[in-house]
Amino acid sequence: MRIVLWNIRAGGGRRVGAILDQLGTWAPDVVALCEFRGTPPSHELARGLARQGLGHQHHTASARHPAVNRLLAASRWPLGRLRARGEPAESGRWLLVRVQAPQPLALGLMHVPNRVTGRKYPVLDAVLTLARRWRRGPAVFLGDTNSGRCGIDEETVAFNAREDGFMRGMARAGWPDAFRCLHGDRRVYTWYSPNGGNGFRIDQAFVNRPLRPLLRAARYEWGRRPGGGRRHALSDHAALLVDLHVHPISDGDRQPDHAADAAGTGTGAISPMGSSV
């Protein structure tokens, strides 16, 4: 099973076609997108994912505020919306679903606000508390955390003790950073400051103890237009590709490629035409 996490920047805009081509090349089973929106390009992206077989979808986009950055989860298998006591209350920036794959697992997708909003630390604290209390089996929490480890996830000093503490706290709670599990202290950056050009690794996936034995690979890739081009051509973030070992399923076991699950009404499951149902 391959999970692709990607902050697509501002809903995708005119880059949606190239984003879909790149996602198709990566061949994911589950896609988790940050900065998905309720705009026409994002709806076209959702329809394109359905055409690629990722028809089970939940999103947090707002019909009243379509240009606000939100989240989308899309899967080959049915998704069920989950609720958890104490989960982040940040509107639209947290999405918890169960993926009914051959090896079912929970997926918590997040886009943590920047420090200047004053809302960052309550979200990090809620995610860490939820991880410590988790009793629902295999799970991965992933997203753009706007956080990292001091000294190894930054080219210049930027992270503070609270953000470093979140990363370390997740590991102590039994939710290690998937990339660090496999690559140790290797330096890699997923976003570069548009002002100073300094790199930071702020996109992560945390796997809990029941899921950890299934982790096979975790790597970052920059989206590229056909023929190459600059690193930021498709997004200002690199994507994270996480591979888990699950038993393959036959064509007869594969779920139909519906673009919406009936259970998704609370967070807006997207229909093939992009409307919310």
In a domain, 11, yes or no: yes
Sheet holding 139-144, edge to edge: 79-81, 94-99, 105-111, 139-144, 203-207
User: Looking at the 3D structure of the chain, how many domains does it have?
Assistant: 1
Band of the pLDDT at 247, cuts 50, 70, 90? low
Percent of the chain with pLDDT over 90: 84
Give 171-206 pLDDT, tens digit per residue: 999 999 999 999 999 999 999 999 889 999 999 999
**In angstroms, how far apart are the furthest CA atoms of the chain?**
52
In a domain, 35, yes or no: yes
In a domain, 275, yes or no: no
Band of the pLDDT at 231, cuts 50, 70, 90? confident
Quote the domain boundaries for residue 182: 2-266
In a domain, 256, yes or no: yes
In a domain, 272, yes or no: no
Residue 114's nearest CA partner among 159, 72, 146 is 146
Instruction: Report the pLDDT averaged over residues 210-227.
Output: 92
Q: What radius of gyration do the chain's Cα atoms show?
A: 17
The pTM of this model reads: 0.90
Residue 214: which CATH number?
A: 3.60.10.10
List, as one string, the DSSP characters of 97-120.
EEE-SSS-EEEEEEEPPPGGGT-H
What CA–CA distance (Å, rounded) separates 180 from 114? 23
Contact partners, residue 16, CB within 8 Å, separation at least 6:
41, 42, 44, 45, 48
In a domain, 25, yes or no: yes
In a domain, 276, yes or no: no
In a domain, 271, yes or no: no
Decide: 106 and 96 in contact? Cβ < 8 Å: yes
